[in-house]
């Protein structure tokens, strides 16, 4: 089915609140999913893939700061979706980069990592150069690199595989964020290992996709949309129950 950007964002916000997100986090998460989908980056597919995990996570369990110094931070997301953990990580990195000129932030033990791209667009619009990268699997070893130039709302993206595994490769379920307020960080993809490009998308590619999506609408799986509506209905039920419990005369004439 086709929905508008605003419809997807609005339904997503209600669904995330229904899951248990705080309203601010729900707004952020819904915006990220809609932003990704509008730019042809599979926001809806990523949400559908990770929804079962989200329903079994504790939204109140926030990332743990494992290590930090002046320029480098490591957070543990406790195997949660990046949707509920990205805002803390990216804002921490942003604050460090603003103060120090450069920051590196690692988020360990998280999934739905591709959705972090939408969060990073905000930082770029605020004048920050940002590069994020992560590995998806072992065979073949697939890496994704996303680079935003300061002031540019859309990134350049490259997905590639290594023909030979590095000796020090280990299972990776994290993401690395590098931010700089005065240095262009877009990678040149130089490596001692042979690379096989699987996908490369430029800013122009993503902007064309966005313009088309805003006119034609966004394609959403019917089953996922029904699930989102069911989750959103939790919010309506809670609101109705709260209204009923607060109905009637108060204990004071000054109510």
- Contact by Cβ (8 Å): 108, 74: yes
pTM (2 decimals)?
A: 0.82
Please give the pLDDT value at position 138: 63
Per-residue model confidence as pLDDT tens digits over 199-250: 788 899 999 999 999 999 999 999 999 999 999 998 766 555 554 555 444 4
Confidence of residue 129 (pLDDT cuts 50, 70, 90): very high
User: β-pairing, 102-111 with 72-81?
Assistant: parallel
Q: Which of 166 and 101 is assigned the larger pLDDT?
A: 101
Section 182-202 average pLDDT? 66
Q: Which of 138 and 55 is assigned the larger pLDDT?
A: 55
Please give the pLDDT value at position 254: 41
Section 56-60 average pLDDT? 82
Residues 6+ apart with CB under 8 A from 32: 43, 83, 86, 115, 116, 117, 118, 119
Does the pLDDT of residue 164 top 90, yes or no?
Answer: no
Please choose, from the candidates 230, 229, 217, the residue with its C-alpha nearest in 3D space to the C-alpha of residue 1.
217
Please give the pLDDT value at position 106: 95
pLDDT averaged over every residue in the chain: 84
DSSP assigned state of 196: E
Per-residue model confidence as pLDDT tens digits over 89-120: 999 999 999 999 999 999 999 988 999 999 99
What is the length of the chain? 255
Question: Which of 10-19, 83-92, 94-103 shows the lowest mean pLDDT across its residues?
Answer: 83-92
Please give the pLDDT value at position 236: 65
Section 130-154 average pLDDT? 86
The structural domains of the chain, ordered by start, are 2-207+216-235 (3.30.1370)
Residue 103's Cα: distance from chain center in Å?
19
Please give the pLDDT value at position 191: 52
Please give the pLDDT value at position 67: 94
Does the pLDDT of residue 189 top 70, yes or no?
Answer: no
Section 156-166 average pLDDT? 78
Q: What percent of the chain has pLDDT over 90?
A: 55
């Amino acid at each position: 089915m086709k929905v508008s950007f605003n419809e997807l964002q609005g339904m997503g916000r209600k669904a995330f609140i229904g899951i248990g997100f705080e309203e601010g986090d729900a707004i952020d998460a819904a915006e990220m999913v809609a932003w990704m989908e509008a730019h042809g980056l599979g926001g809806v597919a990523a949400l559908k893939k990770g929804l079962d995990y989200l329903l079994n996570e504790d939204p109140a369990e926030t990332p743990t700061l494992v290590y930090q110094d002046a320029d480098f931070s490591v957070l543990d997301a406790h195997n949660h979706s990046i949707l509920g953990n990205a805002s803390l990580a990216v804002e921490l990195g942003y604050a460090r980069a603003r103060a120090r000129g450069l920051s590196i932030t690692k988020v360990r033990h998280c999934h739905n990592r591709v959705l972090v791209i939408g969060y990073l667009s905000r930082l770029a619009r605020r004048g920050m150069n940002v590069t994020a990268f992560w590995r998806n699997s072992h065979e073949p070893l697939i890496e994704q690199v996303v680079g935003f130039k300061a002031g540019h709302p859309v990134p350049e993206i490259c997905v590639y595989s290594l023909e030979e595994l590095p000796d020090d490769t280990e299972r990776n379920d994290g993401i690395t964020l590098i931010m700089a307020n005065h240095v262009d960080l877009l990678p040149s993809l130089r490596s001692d290992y042979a690379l096989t490009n699987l996908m490369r998308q430029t800013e122009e590619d993503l902007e064309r996709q966005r313009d088309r999506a805003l006119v034609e609408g966004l394609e959403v799986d019917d089953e996922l949309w029904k699930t989102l509506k069911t989750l959103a209905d939790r919010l309506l039920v809670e609101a109705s129950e709260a209204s009923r419990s607060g109905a009637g005369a108060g204990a004071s004439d000054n109510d």
